Chain A
Amino acid sequence: MKADDNALIRMFRVSKHYASKPALINITLDIFRNEFVFFSGPSGAGKSTLLKILYLGENITEGQVLIDGMNLARIPLNRAHVLRRKIGIIFQDYKLIPGKTVYQNIALVLEAKGLSQRFVQKKVHSVLRTVGMEDRKKSFPLSLSGGEQQKIAIARAMVGEPKIILADEPTGSLDVDAAENVYGLLTAYHERGATILFATHDKDLIRNTKHRVIFLNHGRIQS
């Protein structure tokens, strides 16, 4: 695989099979620094699998993946945190810890890095302000609406200032207003220099976009 200085993520002939069923077939793809890319396609097209591979949630069956120069095949599971600290992940089902407050859910990312409580406090408040949820810092996730929970998940993904955000159907279970809000927050973060990979099957969201859209179907790139 040739080195391309501007490519942050490089996938070369990547295939993924679940038992004998293929989920991704021969994917070759470069994603550049500060790029906003949509992955679109029907359910089961392989969008989530592709994102999971990028955060080491799944291993590939064939091929090679490089992220910021790191070969994912060479990262053992107990070193996965090195990669994951460069990435912010947003899920359709938010994946917030129900027993922890909004503040604690976000602070966890920084605490895991061993940062001081003073810094954590400052940073969490700042990111909560950015997503407009500062007044809900003591709330528990289940007391929030879907849109609010997704904002917290975005705040958690952004708080560590990762270079890459992987958003797996982040608007999938939200109403139009909330979805636009989420998209707006991710766009704003992208404008600060981040690379965003946004998986969605929402055609309205990608219809008039200026960003690159990659269509997946049956595990293959279609255009």
Chain B
Amino acid sequence: MLALFIKKALQDIRENRFLNAITVVTIGLSILIVSSFSLFFINTNALLNSWKQGIRVLVYLKTDANDANRLDLRYQLQQMEDIQELTFISKETALERLKSQMRNQSALLENLKNNPLPDAFEIRIVDGSRELKQVAILAEKIKTFPQVAEVEYGQHFIARFSHIINIFKFVGYALGGLFFVATLFIIANTIRLVLYSRREEIEIMRLVGATDRFITAPFYIEGLILSATGAMLGLIGLFTAYQLILSKFQSSLALTSIEVQFLTIVQIVIFIGISMLVGLTGCFLSLKQFLKN
């Protein structure tokens, strides 16, 4: 029976080639847009997480802090649970680092009479305490020590980046919802048009003793085929765009530690599955309304 339903569904798709092609392309575009946002979100989130993993807190000492103050602070920091590793960076070392980072412009620093950089402790945080909120609490605690002038952990940059990701996340959700409704509407309408064009045939089928299940099953299969094909088309489009962009920026990305990833097999299956579910729902809505009449 299933083979017969599939045969009928494929026959229907062939008979309404144009309408079905438009449906598949529209679903494909919807999936392409939603999956693009997802891919962007997944990669930026991964990037943010990798930054969080490597997060380092710099504790700048006051300029008037002496060796005793420094040792005292080191002792107090070592007592803190969230701190995994503690490295002292003298102001001389800091200046050397700055010079090496500035490379070509290092000459600018040659004429300095005094080293303006403060002594600092570089802190590595233990796993499980690297969430931004936890780091902020730790930083506030360290700031209360009298020897400390400033605590820096890239909070402004991370906060801004997180904010941008959140905006993209929101837009992604909104677009996802919009395209969910659009795909549902497109599938429902396609099936409705096919049903309308075949209403006489369906009436005859009923008169010769066909059950509603027998009549509707090929339409559900048609909806599944259209939505799955549309989803695959959209994902192929996304993969092509991903490859093109990656090849263009490969040399620049090689210099950084940023690793851009495509969707995993599980995520691809989820996209196709959601699309098929939307296809089924669209069919259900159309068929329910049609059979009621």
| Interface pairs A-B: 4 shortest CB-CB | A112-B210, A85-B209, A84-B209, A109-B208
One digit per residue, 1 when the CB lies within 8 angstroms of any chain A CB and 0 when it does not, for chain B 174-210 equals 0000000000000000000000000011001111111
A59 to chain B, nearest CB (A): 15
Apart from A78-B212, A95-B207, A97-B200, 16 more pairs, CB < 8 Å? A55-B207, A78-B211, A81-B211, A84-B206, A84-B207, A84-B208, A84-B209, A89-B208, A97-B201, A99-B201, A108-B205, A112-B205, A112-B208, A112-B214, A113-B209, A117-B4
Judged by a CB distance under 8 angstroms, whether A57 is at the interface is yes
Would you call A16 an interface residue if the criterion is a C-beta within 8 Å of the partner chain's C-beta atoms? no
Which partner residue on chain A sits nearest B4 by CB separation?
Answer: A111
A23 → chain B, closest Cβ, in Å? 19
Query: Does more than half of chain A's interface fall in helix, strand or loop, or is it mixed?
Result: loop
User: Are B15 and A99 in contact, with the CB atoms below 8 A?
Assistant: yes
A81 & B210 in contact (Cβ 8 Å cutoff): yes
Per the bound structure, the CA–CA distance linking A57 and B201 in Å amounts to: 15
Q: Is the C-beta of B108 less than 8 angstroms from some C-beta in chain A?
A: no
Tell me, yes or no, whether A160 is within 8 Å of chain B by CB.
Answer: yes
Quick one: given A111-B4, A112-B214, are A95 and B204 in contact (CB under 8 Å)? yes
B12 CB, min distance to chain A CBs, angstroms: 10
In terms of DSSP, what is the predominant structure of the interface of chain B? helix
B209: chain A residues within 8 A (beta carbon)? 81, 84-85, 109, 112-113, 160
Contacts of B206 in A (CB 8 A): 80-81, 84
B1 part of interface (Cβ distance < 8 Å): yes
Type the 1/0 row for A147-187, where 1 means its CB is closer than 8 Å to any CB of B.
00000000010001000000000000000000000000000
Chain A nearest CB from B159 CB (Å) reads 60
A interface residue numbers (CB < 8 A to B): 55, 57, 78, 80-81, 84-85, 89, 95-97, 99-100, 108-109, 111-114, 117, 156, 160
Within 8 A of A (CB), among B2-46: 4, 15
Contact string, B214-254, partner A, CB cutoff 8 A, digits 1/0? 10000000000000000000000000000000000000000
Q: From residue 42 to 69 of chain B, which have CB atoms closer than 8 A to chain A?
A: none
Tell me, in angstroms, the Cα distance from A143 to B210 when the chains sit together. 26
Once the chains bind, are A114 and B210 in contact (CB under 8 Å)? no
Task: Give Cα A218–Cα B115 distance, bound, in whole angstroms.
Answer: 115
Interchain CA distance A89-B210 in the complex, whole Å: 13
Q: Quick one: which of B207, B208, B211 contacts A57, CB cutoff 8 A?
A: B207
Q: What residues on A are CB-neighbors of B207 within 8 Å?
A: 55, 57, 84, 89, 95
- Taking CB atoms, residues of chain B closer than 8 Å to A80 are 206
Bound CA–CA A114/B217 (angstroms): 13
Q: How far is it, in angstroms, between the C-alpha of A134 and the C-alpha of B284 when the chains are bound?
A: 39
Query: 30 pairs across A/B with beta carbons < 8 Å?
Result: A55-B207, A57-B207, A78-B211, A78-B212, A81-B209, A81-B210, A81-B211, A84-B206, A84-B207, A84-B208, A85-B209, A95-B204, A95-B207, A96-B204, A97-B200, A97-B201, A99-B15, A99-B201, A108-B210, A109-B208, A109-B209, A111-B214, A112-B205, A112-B209, A112-B211, A112-B214, A114-B1, A156-B208, A160-B208, A160-B209
